[in-house]
């Protein structure tokens, strides 16, 4: 963790020198001194004196370290123009900022760092939780998440993205994951007609049997509630993949 924090602080300092936080924090100019960026971070996190980043403090408090990663994602932007202000050794003034490209670069560089540190966390690149730390997965599930986050159907797409945000959040609880599975089960319930038409007889029932017989969708006395929460992970990815399958079945039927 100490190595990851050191590398992250170095990355942030380099971006700061190149003007990537100037739109959010202002330019500390000899003619017009900027305010203290710590106040911006404090307003977001309720933690004082976080800027400049102090490695020892962030190593000791990993939750704050992860919070800082997310907050600075929201503050970063790429300057496309700069002008030298030589008076008093002030330096470069940056302008014409691009938030989108700045955030994309930040996410790419931070994710490389997190991957090297093997922390099992990454910044989400898309979806409702874009710019937030999420649980890292294998390439296949990451690609499925990317496809599902890019959905264009507003009603189903919003629900799927919300389920993904609930499930893969850094601090996702068992309740959050169960809620995510419940959302996806609801989407599949609406598509039962497609499943009945395209799958073998009664196969569609298997998709809902576990959700119905285990305490996920309802809370009946005859349901199983004493099961290992790890199965929620399996259910989530199974249901998410099945939603994607029904997308393709619907597209085929439409064409």
- pLDDT at residue number 192: 81
Query: What whole-number distance in Å separates Cα of residue 28 and Cα of residue 239?
Result: 51
Q: Is 79 left (phi over 0), alpha (psi -120 to 50) or beta?
A: beta
pLDDT in tens, 150-165: 988 888 999 999 999 9
Structure tokens given for 114: 């997190």
Rounded average pLDDT per 10-residue block, the chain, 255 residues: 96 96 89 82 93 94 96 97 85 94 98 94 95 94 94 89 95 91 88 74 65 53 57 89 88 75
Query: Token pair 């400049």 is at which residue?
Result: 52
Q: How far is CA 131 from the centre of its chain?
A: 5
Q: How far is CA 191 from the centre of its chain?
A: 27
pLDDT in tens, 62-108: 999 999 999 999 999 999 999 998 887 788 899 999 999 999 999 99
- Per residue, the 3-state secondary structure of the chain, as one string, reads CHHHHHHHHHHHHHHHHCCCCHHHHCCCCCCCCCCCHHHHHHHHHCCCCCCCCCHHHHHHCHHHHHHHHHHHHHHCCEEEEEEEECHHHCEEEEEEEEHHHHHHHHHHHHHHHHHHHCCCEEECCCCCCCCCEEECCCHHHHHHHHHHHCCCCHHHHHHHHHHHHHHHECCCCHHHHHHHHHHHHHHHHHCHHHHHHHCCCCHHHHHHHHHHHECCCCCCCCCECCCCCHHHHHHHHHHHHHHHHHHHHHHHHHC
- Which residues are bridge partners to 123 per DSSP? 133
Give long-range contacts, CB 8 A cutoff, 24+ apart: 139-147: 141/237, 144/237, 144/240, 144/241, 144/244, 145/240, 147/244
How is the chain split into domains, by residue range? 2-121, 128-254
Closest CA to 238 of 200, 209, 213: 209
């Amino acid at each position: 963790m100490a190595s990851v924090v050191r590398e992250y602080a170095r990355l942030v300092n380099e971006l700061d020198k190149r003007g990537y936080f100037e739109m959010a924090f202002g330019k500390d100019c000899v003619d017009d001194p900027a305010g203290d960026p710590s106040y911006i971070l404090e307003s977001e996190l309720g933690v004082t004196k976080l800027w400049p980043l102090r490695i020892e403090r962030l190593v000791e408090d990993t939750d704050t370290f992860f919070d800082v990663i997310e907050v600075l994602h929201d503050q970063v932007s790429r300057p496309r123009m700069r002008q030298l202000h030589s008076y008093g050794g002030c330096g470069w003034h940056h302008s014409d900022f691009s938030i989108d490209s700045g955030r994309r670069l930040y996410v790419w560089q931070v994710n490389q760092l997190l991957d090297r540190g093997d922390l099992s966390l990454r910044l989400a690149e898309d979806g409702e939780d874009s710019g937030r730390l999420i649980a890292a997965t294998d390439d296949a599930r990451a690609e499925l998440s990317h496809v599902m986050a890019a959905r264009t159907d507003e009603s189903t797409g919003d629900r799927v993205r919300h389920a993904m945000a609930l499930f893969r959040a850094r601090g996702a609880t068992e309740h959050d994951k169960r809620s995510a599975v419940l959302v996806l089960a609801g989407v599949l319930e609406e598509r039962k007609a497609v499943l009945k038409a395209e799958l073998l007889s009664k196969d569609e029932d298997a998709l809902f049997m576990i959700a119905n017989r285990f305490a996920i969708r309802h809370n009946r006395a005859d349901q199983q509630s004493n099961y290992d929460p790890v199965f929620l992970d399996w259910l989530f990815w199974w249901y998410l993949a099945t939603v994607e399958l029904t997308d393709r079945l619907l597209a085929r039927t439409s064409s």
